Amino acid sequence: MSSRKQPKGKIRPPKKPNSADAQFNDNWDRLAQAIREIHKKNASILSFEELYRNAYNMVLHKNGDKLYNGVREVITQHLEEVAVSQVVPAFPLSGASSSQTNPNGAGGANFLKVLKTVWEDHTTCMLMIRDILMYMDRVYAKTANVPLVYDLGLDLFRDTIVRSQNYPIQNHLLEVLLQQIKLERENEIIDRTNVKASIDMLLELTDASTKDTVYATDFENKFLETSSEYYRVEGQMLVGEYDAPEYMKKVDKRLNEEEQRVRHYLSQTTEPKIRNIVEEELISKHLKTVIEMENSGLIPMLRNEKMDDLGRMYKLFGRVVKGHDEMKSAISDYIRELGKAINETVTSNTTAEGGNAASGDKQTGATVAVRWVQEVLDLKDKFDKVQNLALSNDKAFQTSFNEAFEYFINKNSKSPEFISLFIDDNLKKGLKGKTEEEVDSVLDKTITLFRFIGEKDVFERYYKQHLAKRLLLGRSVSDDAERGMIGKLKVECGYQFTTKLEGMFNDMRISSDTMTDFKEYLDKSVLEKPKLDLSVTVLTSTFWPMNLSASPRCNLPPELTKACGTFQNFYLGRHSGRRLTWQSNMGTADIRGSFKARKHELNVSTYQMVILLMFNDKQDGESLSYEQIKGESDIPEADLKRNLQSLACAKYKILVKEPKGKEINPGDQFNFNNDFTAPLQRIKIQTVASKVESEGERKETREKVEEARKHQTEAAIVRIMKDRKTMEHNLLIAEVVKQLQSRFMPNPALIKKRIEALIEREYLERATGDRRVYNYLA
Amino acid sequence: SKLSDDYEKLFESEVGYDVIIYAGEGPNIKEFHAHSNILFIRSGYFRSAFSNKWAEKKDGKFIYRKPNISPHLFNIILRFIYCGKIELKNLQGSDVLELFVSRYLVKHQAKFLYQKPT
Which residue pairs, CB below 8 angstroms and at least 24 apart, start in A744-750?
A744/A454, A744/A455, A744/A456, A744/A457, A744/A458, A744/A709, A745/A454, A745/A455, A746/A709, A746/A713, A750/A709, A750/A710, A750/A713
CB A601 within 8 A of CB A590: yes
Q: What distance in Å separates the CA atoms of residue A521 and residue A541, rounded to the nearest whole number? A: 25
Chain A residues in contact with B40 (beta carbon < 8 A): none
Report the first-to-last Cα separation within chain A, whole angstroms.
114
Name the pLDDT band for A404 (thresholds 50, 70, 90).
very high
* Chain A interface includes B64 (CB < 8 A): yes
What pLDDT sits at residue B118?
Answer: 38
Name the pLDDT band for A229 (thresholds 50, 70, 90).
very high
Among residues B7, B8, B11, the alpha carbon closest in space to that of B21 is found at B11
Does B2 have pLDDT greater than 80? yes
- pLDDT tens for A725-773 read 888 888 888 888 888 887 888 888 888 888 888 888 888 888 888 888 8
Nearest CA to CA, how far is B83 from chain A (Å)? 23
Which positions 447-486 of A are in contact with B (Cβ < 8 Å)?
none
Question: Can you tell me the mean pLDDT for A201-221?
Answer: 92
CA distances from A391 to A251, A292, A306, A311, A318 (A): 19, 18, 12, 6, 10
In a shared domain, residues A536 and A641: no
In a shared domain, residues A678 and A702: no
Most confident of A152-166, A562-576, B44-58: A152-166
What pLDDT sits at residue A236?
Answer: 93
What is the side-by-side strand order in the sheet with A682-684?
Answer: A588-594, A599-605, A682-684
Longest dimension (CA), chain A: 162
Longest dimension (CA), chain B: 46
Name the pLDDT band for A97 (thresholds 50, 70, 90).
very low
What pLDDT sits at residue A341?
Answer: 92
Nearest CA to CA, how far is A147 from chain B (Å)? 19
What pLDDT sits at residue A75?
Answer: 94
Question: Could A6 and B68 be called an inter-chain contact, meaning their C-beta atoms sit closer than 8 Å?
Answer: yes
What one-character-per-residue DSSP string does A225-255 give? HHHHHHHHHHHHHHHHHS-HHHHHHHHHHHH
Q: Which of A25-39, A627-641, A706-720 has the lowest mean pLDDT?
A: A627-641
What is the side-by-side strand order in the sheet with A764-766?
Answer: A726-728, A773-776, A764-766
Q: What distance in Å separates the CA atoms of residue A760 and residue A277, rounded to the nearest whole number? A: 68
Answer whether residue A192 is part of any domain: no
What pLDDT sits at residue A618?
Answer: 77
Which positions 108-127 of A are in contact with B (Cβ < 8 Å)?
127
The amino acid that residue A252 corresponds to is: D
CB B48 within 8 A of CB A48: yes
Name the pLDDT band for A712 (thresholds 50, 70, 90).
confident
In a shared domain, residues A550 and A594: no
Minimum-distance CB partner of B49 among A43, A49, A127: A49
CB B97 within 8 A of CB B103: no
Q: Is the peptide bond before A147 cis (omega within 30 degrees of 0)?
A: no
Q: Phi and psi (nearest 5°) for B56? A: -105, 130
Quote the ipTM score.
0.81
- pLDDT tens for A362-376 read 445 678 888 899 999
Does A258 have pLDDT greater than 70? yes
Q: Which residue of A has its CA nearest to B70?
A: A10
Does B18 have pLDDT greater than 60? yes
Question: Can you tell me the mean pLDDT for A180-201?
Answer: 92
Minimum-distance CB partner of A9 among B68, B97, B104: B68
In a shared domain, residues A123 and A30: yes
Chain B residues in contact with A131 (beta carbon < 8 A): 48, 51, 53-54
Does A625 have pLDDT greater than 60? yes
Q: Which domain holds residue A757?
A: 695-776
B/e letters for A262-289, b = 16+ CB within 10 Å, e = fewer, are beebbbeebeebbeebbbbbbbbbbbee
Report the first-to-last Cα separation within chain B, whole angstroms.
31
Cα radius of gyration (chain A)? 48
CB A287 within 8 A of CB A323: yes
Answer whether residue A504 is part of any domain: no
Answer whether residue A206 is part of any domain: no
Question: Could B69 and A43 be called an inter-chain contact, meaning their C-beta atoms sit closer than 8 Å?
Answer: no
* Chain B interface includes A1 (CB < 8 A): yes
What pLDDT sits at residue A20?
Answer: 66
Among A684, A716, A738, where does a domain finish? A684
Q: What distance in Å separates the CA atoms of residue A316 and residue A246, rounded to the nearest whole number? A: 13
What pLDDT sits at residue B15?
Answer: 84
* Chain B interface includes A47 (CB < 8 A): yes
Among A617, A649, A684, where does a domain finish? A684
- pLDDT tens for A410-460 read 988 888 889 988 888 888 755 556 777 887 888 888 888 888 888 888 888
Question: Could B68 and A10 be called an inter-chain contact, meaning their C-beta atoms sit closer than 8 Å?
Answer: yes
Q: Is A639 helix (H, G, I), strand (E, B) or coil?
A: helix
Among residues A230, A236, A243, the alpha carbon closest in space to that of A290 is found at A243
In a shared domain, residues A55 and A162: yes
CATH number at residue A762: 1.10.10.10
What pLDDT sits at residue A739?
Answer: 86
Does A357 have pLDDT greater than 50? no
What pLDDT sits at residue B92?
Answer: 64
DSSP state of A294: T
Q: What distance in Å separates the CA atoms of residue A98 and residue A101, rounded to the nearest whole number? A: 5
Question: Could A10 and B49 be called an inter-chain contact, meaning their C-beta atoms sit closer than 8 Å?
Answer: no
Question: Can you tell me the mean pLDDT for A24-39?
Answer: 87
CATH number at residue A467: 1.20.1310.10
Interface test with B, best of A4, A15, A38, A49 (most B CBs within 10 A): A49
- pLDDT tens for A269-320 read 999 999 999 999 999 999 999 999 988 999 999 999 999 999 999 999 999 9
Interface test with A, best of B53, B66, B94, B106 (most A CBs within 10 A): B53
Q: What distance in Å separates the CA atoms of residue A416 and residue A411, rounded to the nearest whole number? A: 11
Chain A residues in contact with B68 (beta carbon < 8 A): 1, 4, 6, 9-11, 53
Our count of domains for chain A comes to 6
Which positions 3-22 of A are in contact with B (Cβ < 8 Å)?
4, 6, 9-13
Chain B residues in contact with A15 (beta carbon < 8 A): none
Question: Can you tell me the mean pLDDT for A696-703?
Answer: 78
* Chain B interface includes A42 (CB < 8 A): no
What pLDDT sits at residue A548?
Answer: 59
For chain A, what percent of residues have pLDDT higher than 70?
Answer: 90
Question: Can you tell me the mean pLDDT for A674-681?
Answer: 82
DSSP state of A92: P
Among residues A629, A632, A549, the alpha carbon closest in space to that of A583 is found at A549
In this structure, the number of other CB atoms found within 10 A of the CB of residue A440 comes to: 18
Which positions 65-94 of B are in contact with A (Cβ < 8 Å)?
65-70
CB A270 within 8 A of CB A222: no
Q: What distance in Å separates the CA atoms of residue A312 and residue A317, rounded to the nearest whole number? A: 8
Does A48 have pLDDT greater than 50? yes
Mean pLDDT over the full length of chain A: 84
For residue A85, how many C-alpha atoms fall within 13 Å in the half-sphere facing its CB? 8
* Chain A interface includes B54 (CB < 8 A): yes
Answer whether residue A5 is part of any domain: no
> How many helices (DSSP H) and strands (DSSP E) are in chain B?
6, 4
Cα radius of gyration (chain B)? 14
Q: Phi and psi (nearest 5°) for A588? A: -135, 160
Answer whether residue A498 is part of any domain: no
Does A189 have pLDDT greater than 60? yes
In a shared domain, residues A399 and A489: yes
Name the pLDDT band for A99 (thresholds 50, 70, 90).
very low
Q: Say which residue, A320 or B83, is predicted with more confidence.
A: A320
Burial of A6 (0-12, 13-18, 19+ CB in 10 A): exposed
CA distances from B34 to A48, A635, B29, B44 (A): 18, 123, 16, 16
In a shared domain, residues A36 and A167: yes
CB A589 within 8 A of CB A609: yes
Q: What distance in Å separates the CA atoms of residue A563 and residue A609, rounded to the nearest whole number? A: 15
Answer whether residue A191 is part of any domain: no
Beta-carbon contacts of residue A614 (< 8 Å; ≥ 6 apart)? A624, A629, A632, A633
CB A537 within 8 A of CB A508: yes
Question: Could B54 and A48 be called an inter-chain contact, meaning their C-beta atoms sit closer than 8 Å?
Answer: yes
Q: What distance in Å separates the CA atoms of residue A478 and residue B107, rounded to the nearest whole number? A: 92
CB A366 within 8 A of CB A417: no
Q: Between vectors from CA A395 to CA A393 and to CA A400, what angle results, nearest 5°?
A: 110
In a shared domain, residues A530 and A434: no
Question: Can you tell me the mean pLDDT for A658-672?
Answer: 82
CATH number at residue A672: 3.30.230.130
Most confident of A113-127, A535-549, B74-88: A113-127
Q: What distance in Å separates the CA atoms of residue A730 and residue A752, rounded to the nearest whole number? A: 10
Answer whether residue A184 is part of any domain: no
Nearest CA to CA, how far is B27 from chain A (Å)? 12
Q: Which residue of B has its CA nearest to A46?
A: B54
In a shared domain, residues A340 and A433: yes
Name the pLDDT band for B114 (thresholds 50, 70, 90).
very low
Question: Could B69 and A10 be called an inter-chain contact, meaning their C-beta atoms sit closer than 8 Å?
Answer: yes
What one-character-per-residue DSSP string does A678-719 give? -S-SEEE-------PPPHHHHHHHHHHHHHHHHHHHHHHHHH
Beta-carbon contacts of residue A549 (< 8 Å; ≥ 6 apart)? none
CB A705 within 8 A of CB A458: yes
> How many helices (DSSP H) and strands (DSSP E) are in chain A?
32, 9
Which positions 221-280 of A are in contact with B (Cβ < 8 Å)?
none
Number of A/B CB contacts below 8 angstroms equals 55
Among residues B102, B29, B34, the alpha carbon closest in space to that of B63 is found at B34
Beta-carbon contacts of residue A501 (< 8 Å; ≥ 6 apart)? A463, A464, A467, A486, A489, A543
Answer whether residue A749 is part of any domain: yes
Q: What distance in Å separates the CA atoms of residue A283 and residue A235, rounded to the nearest whole number? A: 8
What pLDDT sits at residue A387?
Answer: 92
The three-state (H, E, C) secondary structure of A356-419, written as one string: CHHHCCCHHHHHHHHHHHHHHHHHHHHHHHHHHHCCCCCHHHHHHHHHHHHHHHHHCCCHHHHH
Among A446, A466, A493, where does a domain finish? A493
CA distances from A298 to A282, A386, A414 (A): 17, 12, 31
User: Do the strands A764-766 and A773-776 form a parallel or antiparallel pair, or are they unpaired?
Assistant: antiparallel
Q: Which residue of A has its CA nearest to B48?
A: A131
Minimum-distance CB partner of B68 among A4, A43, A48: A4
Question: Could B102 and A4 be called an inter-chain contact, meaning their C-beta atoms sit closer than 8 Å?
Answer: no
In this structure, the number of other CB atoms found within 10 A of the CB of residue A385 comes to: 12
Does A356 have pLDDT greater than 50? no
Minimum-distance CB partner of A9 among B51, B67, B104: B67
In a shared domain, residues A138 and A88: yes
* Chain A interface includes B104 (CB < 8 A): yes
Q: What distance in Å separates the CA atoms of residue A336 and residue A342, rounded to the nearest whole number? A: 10
Nearest CA to CA, how far is A52 from chain B (Å)? 9
Q: What distance in Å separates the CA atoms of residue A420 and residue A408, rounded to the nearest whole number? A: 17
In a shared domain, residues A291 and A371: no
What pLDDT sits at residue B100?
Answer: 52
In a shared domain, residues A462 and A522: no
* Chain A interface includes B48 (CB < 8 A): yes
Q: What distance in Å separates the CA atoms of residue A271 and residue A267, rounded to the nearest whole number? A: 7
